[in-house]
Amino acid sequence: MKIIQSFWSGNQNDFSNACGWESYRYNWMSWILSCYQLVKYHKNVELYTDAFGYKILIEKLKLPYTKVHVVLDEVNHYPKDFWAIAKIKTFQQQEEPFLHVDGDVFVWESLTNHFHESNLVVQSMEVTDYYYQNIWSNIYPELEYLPKELAEFHNDKTNVSFNMGIVGGNNVEFFKNYCSKSFEFVNLNKKSWSRINGLHYNVFFEQLLFCKYAQSKKQEVDFLFPEIPIDNEYFGFADFHEVPHKTYLHLLGNYKKEPAVCKFMELYLMKNYPEAYSNLGAVINEFTGSSSENDYLNPEFIQRLECEFQIEIRKNSFSSGNFLLKRDLNNSGLHQRIEELFLKRENFSIVKLKGFEFKRNTSPETDELDYLVIEEINSAERKYKLDEFDEILLDELQNPILYSDLLNVMKEYLEEHNEESLNELSDVLNAKLKNYIKLKIISIYN
């Protein structure tokens, strides 16, 4: 069973297209990381793309796919918002068992080992809640043709669909028939294209049709995640700090717009694939005509910066050279480290870093909270609003301190010293420290 991915530019040829991400930089980072992680755990990873995708992903970014098929210019006559049409075209090309993996999916284990005998595979079930019905109510009246599998969707009581972050299986014949139905659903509604929301339409000619057609043919479907997400909330699918304990991430939906998630992805790419990250920086500099991106990273340089920063942390004296880069590299794996220390009840030292400013609300007309402004590499500053506990805690972190000493200091702020209040304090303190690591405003060592 081979792994396949598909990239279609929508006939736009726009390097700066963010494709739903917070910035176009993260769109390309996602493709780089997704490809490298797939290649790491699978022997055969193939790309289906158009001429622009070949230029960027292969010629410029040099992604290590085992085979590339430049066939998706054949769907350039479809509206650019019909992004799923490229996936349907890619499925249609398959003559052997496969798993298609979206470009915002990252793995830390083999997918094919799980599903080499599966008839059909998808990531998970979804609940077709009011969101589906609402967007369908705007599309349905404009359609001239409706496949029989969706004829009663507006009266559907099952509320089930599939998330197709991964999709595939051994039943290639099913995919041939499904793709024919999907193209028919799109093509016979050509007169409606200009009257419907194309981005919403994808949901129905891709995943919902797949689900209903599989049900109508009584096909066995395996799920990577058997659990149905509550209210379609995919909690935990962006937890880079849980890797490698977590082996599958999917930055779907709003995750692409969250700066913290995007920076975690960037940090993982920078730390684990520095040359690919640097190459992206060089490509961005080439397209923008600037020199603002990092285009000089390599494993030896990364290691040297990490060693330097460990010394600086212990001395509590930070040089200005490459500070933000060293801080970010140091942050990788730190969340897991503090979790382990809490679990083992081991003591450790906490050091407050630089790279952020305290901003106080001076307007008496508003009840806005004080906040921190945190510097980031190649992106806008981040803001973090402070509550009363934050202000006390950060004041106590002015100088390096042992965790045990910090806990004792914070106990003095309690009105009561019973077991319940002490346990609550410990939980709040631990949560704050883990969050400060995510914010990159502290580091630890023991």
Angstrom distances, CA of residue 66 to CA of 63, 325, 357 = 9, 32, 47
Which pLDDT band, with edges at 50, 70 and 90, does 366 fall under? low
The per-residue pLDDT for 369 is 73
Q: What is the mean pLDDT of the chain?
A: 93
Q: Which of the listed residues 261, 286, 304 is the one where a domain comes to its end?
A: 261
Written as six digits, the tokens of 21 are 């991400």
CA atoms of 382 and 372, how far apart (whole Å): 8
Is residue 437 a part of any domain in this protein? yes
Separation between Cα atoms, residue 71 and residue 91, nearest integer Å: 12
The pTM score is 0.90
- Let me know whether 255 and 368 are in one domain: no
Pair (352, 230) in one structural domain: no
Residue 372 and residue 383 in contact, taking contact as beta carbons nearer than 8 Å: yes
Mean predicted confidence (pLDDT) in 309-325:
94
Q: Give the pLDDT band of residue 294 (cuts 50, 70, 90).
A: confident
The model's confidence at residue 231, banded by pLDDT at 50, 70 and 90, is: low
384, 369 Cβ separation under 8 angstroms: no
| 71 and 169 inside one domain | yes
pLDDT at 158 over 70: no
Taking residues 101-125, report their average pLDDT: 96
Look at 37 and 260; give whichever has higher pLDDT. 37
Radius of gyration for the chain, computed over Cα atoms and rounded to the nearest angstrom: 25
Q: Give percent of the chain with pLDDT exceeding 90.
A: 81
- CATH number, domain of 17, equals 3.90.550
What is the C-alpha to C-alpha distance for residues 118 and 97, in angstroms, rounded to an integer? 9
Q: Is residue 306 part of a domain?
A: no
Beta strands in 218-292 (DSSP E): 221-225, 248-250
Task: Tell me, yes or no, whether 273 lies in a domain.
Answer: no
Instruction: Say which DSSP state 399 is in.
Output: S
Torsion angle in degrees (nearest 10) through CA of 257, 263, 267, 270 = 70
pLDDT exceeds 70 at position 102: yes
Locate all alpha helices (DSSP H) within 66-128, ordered by sequence: 84-92, 112-115
Q: Which residue has the tokens 């200009």?
A: 194
Q: Would you say residue 298 lies in a domain?
A: no
Res 170: pLDDT:
98
State whether 187 and 317 are in the same domain.
Answer: no
- Reported confidence tier of residue 134, pLDDT bands at 50, 70, 90: confident
Read off the pLDDT band of 228 (50, 70, 90): confident
| Cross-strand bridge partners of residue 127 | 160
Task: Looking at the structure, tell me whether residues 80 and 227 fall in a common domain.
Answer: yes
Same domain, 196 and 112: yes
Looking at residue 232, its pLDDT comes to: 64
Mean pLDDT of 375-401: 92
238, 261, 284 — which closes off a domain? 261
Q: Is the pLDDT of residue 365 over 70?
A: no
C-alpha–C-alpha distance, residues 341 and 343, integer Å:
5
Average pLDDT over residues 309-330: 94
The reported pLDDT for the residue numbered 81 is: 96
Q: Which residues contact 59 (CB under 8 A, 6 or more apart)?
A: none
Distance CA 159, CA 67 (A): 39
Average pLDDT on 138-156 reads 88
User: Do residues 340 and 244 both lie within one domain?
Assistant: no
Residue 275 lies in a domain: no
Q: Are residues 110 and 201 in the same domain?
A: yes
The answer to whether residues 8 and 49 touch, using CB atoms and an 8 Å cutoff, is: yes
* Residue 368 banded pLDDT, cuts 50, 70, 90: low
The answer as to whether 278 is a domain residue is: no
- Residues 322-340: tens digit of each pLDDT: 999 999 999 988 999 999 9
pLDDT digits (tens, 9 = 90+) for 116-133: 999 999 999 988 777 788
Kindly state whether residue 250 falls inside one of the protein's structural domains: yes
Judgement on whether residues 185 and 324 belong to the same structural domain of the protein: no
Query: What is the band of 230 on the pLDDT scale with cuts at 50, 70, 90?
Result: low
Top pLDDT among 259 and 169 is at: 169
Give me the pLDDT at residue 13, please: 92
Q: Which domain holds residue 337?
A: 312-445
In this structure, are 191 and 80 located in the same domain? Answer: yes
- Looking at the fold, whether 136 and 29 belong to one and the same domain comes out as yes
Task: Decide if pLDDT at 393 tops 70.
Answer: yes
Measured between alpha carbons, how far is 231 from 166 in angstroms, rounded to an integer? 20
Specify whether 232 is located in the same domain as 317: no
- What mean pLDDT do residues 242-264 have? 93
Predicted confidence at residue 360, as pLDDT, reads: 83
Q: Is the pLDDT of residue 157 over 70?
A: no
Q: Where are the beta strands (DSSP E) in 342-407?
A: 349-352, 356-359, 371-374, 382-385, 401-402
Helix residue spans in 116-255 (DSSP H): 130-139, 172-187, 198-203, 209-216
- Residue 410 predicted with pLDDT over 70: yes
CA dihedral 194, 134, 229, 207 (to 10 degrees): -30
**Is there a domain that residue 61 lies in?**
yes
Number of domains in the chain: 2
pLDDT number for residue 20: 94
**The pLDDT of residue 363:** 66
